[in-house]
Structure 1
C-alpha cells in the first residue's frame, strides 16, 4: 500500500508483491491464535423470500384526506414494501393489514419483526401470530 500511496507504479507491481509475500518467511508463518485475538463467530442467517417481514407505523404526518399515519411492511430479502394509509395507529389496523396484505397475498411468514410498540404487543395480535405459528421478534435501537 505504501508503494501505491507514494504514486509508484510499474506493469508487474501486483505480481511482484505476490511473489515477495510468498517468499517472505514472516508473512507465511502464523502464530498461535488465542481466543482473545480471534474474530467473533456469527452465524449466517439463511432465510427465504417472504419468510421475514418488518412492520412499523410511520407518522403522525400532517392530515391528508383524513389520514395521518402510514403502516409499512418491508420484506427482508427482496426489500418489497407494502404500505397503507391509516387514521389511527392501533392494533385493529395492524390485524387487518396482516390478514389482507401479508397473509392473503404472500402467505404466512415465519417471523414478523416490529419495534415492540403497544399496537404490536396487543393480545389479539399475539393470538393471530400464535394461530399461524409466526414468531414475533422485537427490534430496538440497541438490539436490531
Structure 2
C-alpha cells in the first residue's frame, strides 16, 4: 500500500512577495512591495523608492519576522530584486526556503498576482489623484 504524505502548513508559513509599480512619484516613493500570506490571505505592503533586494530584506526583518514569525517558505517571481545573493543569504540564515515562480508556471505566483490585480482595480481612482499615499490606505482596508 503506498504511503500518503501530507504537508501541514500553518498561517504565516508561506508568504508571496511581489512589487507593484512603478507609479508616479509620491512622497519619494515609486513602488510598493506587497507580501501576501497564502494561508490567511493577509496582505502587508511597504512603499519604496525602488524595487530592490534591500527593500525585500527590510520587509522580512522589519515587518514579517517580528509580527508573524519566521516563515517556512517565501515565494517570488524571478526578478533580479528577488534572486540577489544578499536576499538568499538572509533567507538561508533564518532557514527560510525560497521558491521561485517561473513565467510559464503562473499558478505558483497566482495568489500574489491576483491580490495585486484586485488592489489595482480598487485603487484606480485614488491612484490618479493622490498617488501611493492613498494606495497604502486602500491596502490597509483590503
Which TM class, normalised by the smaller chain length? 0.5 to 0.7
Q: TM-score, normalised by structure 1?
A: 0.67
CA distance in 2 between partners of 1:58 and 1:99 (Å): 20
1:63 Cα shift?
Answer: 1.1
Q: TM-score, normalised by structure 2?
A: 0.68
Question: Which structure: greater helix fraction?
Answer: 2
Q: Aligned-residue CA RMSD in angstroms?
A: 1.4
Query: Tell me, which stretches of 5 or more residues in structure 2 are unaligned?
Result: 109-142
CA distance in 1 between partners of 2:56 and 2:103 (Å): 22
How is 1:37-116 mapped onto 2 (pairs within 5 angstroms)?
Answer: 46-116=8-78
Query: Tell me, which stretches of 5 or more residues in structure 1 are unaligned?
Result: 1-42
Residue of 64, 77, 98 corresponding to 1:136? 98
State the structure with more CA Rg. 1
Tell me the alpha carbon deviations over residues 1-50 of structure 1, each in whole angstroms, 9 at most, x when there is no partner.
Answer: xxxxxxxxxxxxxxxxxxxxxxxxxxxxxxxxxxxxxxxxxx87541111
Query: Looking at both structures, which has the greater relative contact order when contacts are Cα pairs under 8 Å and sequence separation is at least 6?
Result: 2
CA distance in 1 between partners of 2:44 and 2:6 (Å): 26
Tell me the alpha carbon deviations over residues 53-100 of structure 1, each in whole angstroms, 9 at most, x when there is no partner.
Answer: 000111001111111100000000100000011101111111111100
CA distance in 1 between partners of 2:84 and 2:103 (Å): 21
